[in-house]
A and B are shown apart, each in its own frame.
Chain A
């Protein structure tokens, strides 16, 4: 079997951390900054970062439509800012901030407040049992994080919620959105789970 080639949108944010995990798992990786960089990729990750900055650079370098086309056919995972980009609708977004509208979720930007309200917590993620026999809670880092306000289609599966019911991870087919940052952990289960979505 040939190695999958996974792109990481490298306009801004913590793309290097995603690339490090993917390499650890044996995937080939590529930084994506321009539309031509998408050619031949098997999957794409949109990293954490500042969603207004990533959206603006994606629009200026004409990546929005190519990303939409890519996501209609192949696995795409958005972490934090990436989840905002993937969403159909985002509240508290900056006026005119571009969204890819690939996933039928409504996301609320900066939902937990400012940096002093950022936190770590452990999450039960039953779906990760598919890639790990032992499936202990996943330590999740939330940084000025968005929440998934609502799953807006019947095929959107909620993968993890906080104690109060706030949705923080969801999947719709080959698309994955997390409010938090698995790339900041040494725990590779979420990345393994994403790679398992590849054909």
Chain B
């Protein structure tokens, strides 16, 4: 006889990356209140991201953006049965310790908030709670994974409603993976150096033909067509921030984006869900935003 049914191993990397696997093909929605969270859950969101202001407001208001009030996060956790994620500032490991103690399901170490450390990200491996981090390219993604991120999202430019940066970052990651796959094994060492990424992870990506963790798109997705565009480019799912609750009819738009993410190759369904959604978020063209106001550049 075997000796199965043994002890439980919590918080292994497989368990942390595993939750992201379960979110694939889904939409994760930014919410600032329990009321929003319920609308998101009813619309079919796979998870909600709790934050104190959506990125469009952070952009408009200025000032320092921080982790949300724990009271608000607890209210959101109480209100819905789907996973709840919350954001911490880059490098702010104490905000992460606080979120872990609340029992949030995922932490987003996010460039949308004001960075707390301009050289280092959080050492994420020791935490029981998994982390998702943003990236603009393969090197950035692999640095975050080396630090312990169990999920990656391309950054896009949050709070703009302009999908152009999300596309740029997804194309950059997938393009670099394609290049990597055409390289001889001896070329990987120098390529790893150029990327600023650990060689073991570069070798793993070549073998897998993809990132070793789930990769969502974020930053500027505002319509069902935007979501389907990112899915067709090859991401595993989408984050929608300001795009839903800054639009005219959040419940309807949220449900439409969920359907578009599932049926992302079915143009007939995409046409049908895109009809009569009301006003989209106003949006701001990324090319009109001066470099110093752009968020995606935060992260090292």
Contact = CB atoms under 8 A, between A and B. Distances in A.
B282 to A, nearest CB: 28
B62 interface: no
Query: In terms of DSSP, what is the predominant structure of the interface of chain A?
Result: loop
A176 interface: no
Interface stretch (B12-20, B118-126, B188-196): B12-20
B262 to A, nearest CB: 5
Contact of B21 (A92, A109, A135, A184): A184
B140 interface: no
Contact of B47 (A10, A50, A124, A137): A50
B212 to A, nearest CB: 13
Interface residues of B, number: 45
Interface string A113-133: 111111111111100000000
B217 interface: no
Contacts, number: 146
Interface string A76-119: 00001100000000001110000000000000011001111111
B4 A137 contact: yes
A52 B6 CA distance: 31
B130 interface: yes
B110 to A, nearest CB: 18
Nearest to A135: B2
B5 A121 contact: yes
A75 interface: no
A171 interface: no
Interface of A: 10-17, 33, 48-50, 52-53, 56-57, 60, 80-81, 92-94, 109-110, 113-125, 135-138, 141-144, 160-163, 181, 184
Interface of B: 1-12, 14-16, 18-19, 21-26, 41, 44-47, 81-83, 100, 103-106, 128-130, 258-259, 261-263, 266
Given A49-B24, A109-B81, 14 more contacts: A33-B262, A50-B22, A52-B44, A52-B81, A53-B82, A81-B22, A110-B81, A114-B104, A116-B11, A116-B129, A120-B8, A120-B14, A137-B2, A184-B18
